Amino acid sequence: MERERVSYSPIVERPPLRWPNDARLALWIVPNIEYFEYLPPGPIGQRDPYPRSPHPDILTYGLRDYGNRVGFWRMFETLKQFDVKATLSLNLACYEHFPEILELCESRRYDVMCHGIYNSNYLYDLKEEEERAYIRDCVTTFRRLTARDLSGWYTPAGSGTWNTPKLLAEAGLKYYVDIYHDDHPIPLNTPAGRVLTMPYSMDVNDGWNLRLNIEAEEFGRAVMDQFDRLYEEGAKTGRMMSFALHPYVMGQPHRIGHLEKLLDYMLSRPGVWQASGIEIAEWYTANCLAPFEEHLKKFAGDTASGGRQ
């Protein structure tokens, strides 16, 4: 990432980051509610959304469809049981095609991070005006469906372009997660203003890990290991952990019990602030951004003057 967009700063040299009530860890739980087209108009750009050819890839499509038909409802009963403030990574086509999902999610007033329209269409090769129109369409569609504004953004399959941050700032979105580069929110500068990059994990992510031939018990150990280390480090300066979920993965009957165990483990620890994406972004902006920006100025000055060897 070029320095005009995001300044470098070692996490060990930053001013202490303090979450509400001096919590050690901000825990961000992100269910990905996705819609894969049966016959996507692809391959689009640099990637085919379905690994098996020729299309239709009925096996892969059917697994994703299970998530919206069954896994979603099983998973969200578990989230309700633990009173989770979820942030949806939402393909807007789910709200358009499945009004029952819209009704449940809106009844719980979940924060929404737009994941584009379909998870089988990508932005890699869009020109700037095409991408601007795409983002504008997402913003207006969500407002039409919910009378609310989107708070964040995750490009389908992380397929954002160089222009994406600027276009998100233009559209008034507060944060996005295409850059998996830190354990803190980080301000990203664009010609249209600032947008926060939020920590999001692909290393510990059920949609990725469980496609690598591991199962829920091993995935659960990875989640706990990640949580334990960030919780320990958070005693000095607050850390943030994303917990990405997919209904077609952890919503399976043989895995849902592992999700219950993980939520019980993490939410029972003192000093954990389980919060939505917009809550974290707004807290950081109001309480942590100014000290961090002052630190960046000093860090840049010390580096330029040769004060750091």
The mean pLDDT of the chain is 92
Residue 177 lies in a domain: yes
Concatenated DSSP letters of 183-211 = SS-EEEEETTEEEEE----SSSBHHHHTT
Neighbours of 171 (CB within 10 A): 19
Q: Two tokens at 97? A: 């095609």
Residue 5 lies in a domain: no
| Whether 33 contacts 88, CB under 8 Å | yes
Amino acid in position 243? F
Q: Tell me phi and psi for residue 107, to 5 degrees.
A: -65, -25
The mean pLDDT value for 78-91 works out to 98
Residue 13 lies in a domain: no
Q: Two tokens at 227? A: 């949580």
Number of H helices, E strands in the chain: 12, 9
Domain extent at residue 248: 22-304
Work out the end-to-end distance of the chain between its first and last CA atoms, rounded to an integer number of angstroms.
23
Of residues 297 and 103, more confidently modeled: 103
Residue 9 lies in a domain: no
pTM metric for this prediction:
0.93
Q: Which CATH number does the domain housing residue 179 bear? A: 3.20.20.370
Of residues 24 and 308, more confidently modeled: 24
pLDDT value of position 247? 97
Rounded Cα distance between 217 and 259, Å, is 10
Looking at residue 15, the DSSP 8-state letter turns out to be P
| Whether 278 contacts 151, CB under 8 Å | yes
| Whether 197 contacts 5, CB under 8 Å | no
Summarize pLDDT for 224-247 with one digit per residue, the tens.
999 999 999 999 999 999 999 999
Q: How far is CA 204 from CA 86, 244, 286, in A?
A: 17, 8, 29
Residue 53 lies in a domain: yes
Residue 280 lies in a domain: yes
Summarize pLDDT for 122-172 with one digit per residue, the tens.
898 899 999 999 999 999 999 999 999 999 999 998 899 999 999 999 999
Predicted confidence band of residue 309 (pLDDT cuts 50, 70, 90):
very low
Quick one: 211 exposed, middle or buried, by C-beta within 10 A (0-12, 13-18, 19+)? exposed
Residue 10 lies in a domain: no
Predicted confidence band of residue 41 (pLDDT cuts 50, 70, 90):
confident
Rounded Cα distance between 242 and 255, Å, is 19
Q: Which residues is 153 bridged to in the sheet?
A: 114, 176
The mean pLDDT value for 249-255 works out to 96
Rounded Cα distance between 170 and 136, Å, is 10
- The structural domain count of the chain equals 1
Summarize pLDDT for 266-286 with one digit per residue, the tens.
999 999 999 999 999 999 999
Q: Which residues is 32 bridged to in the sheet?
A: 89
pLDDT value of position 59? 86
Residue 78 lies in a domain: yes
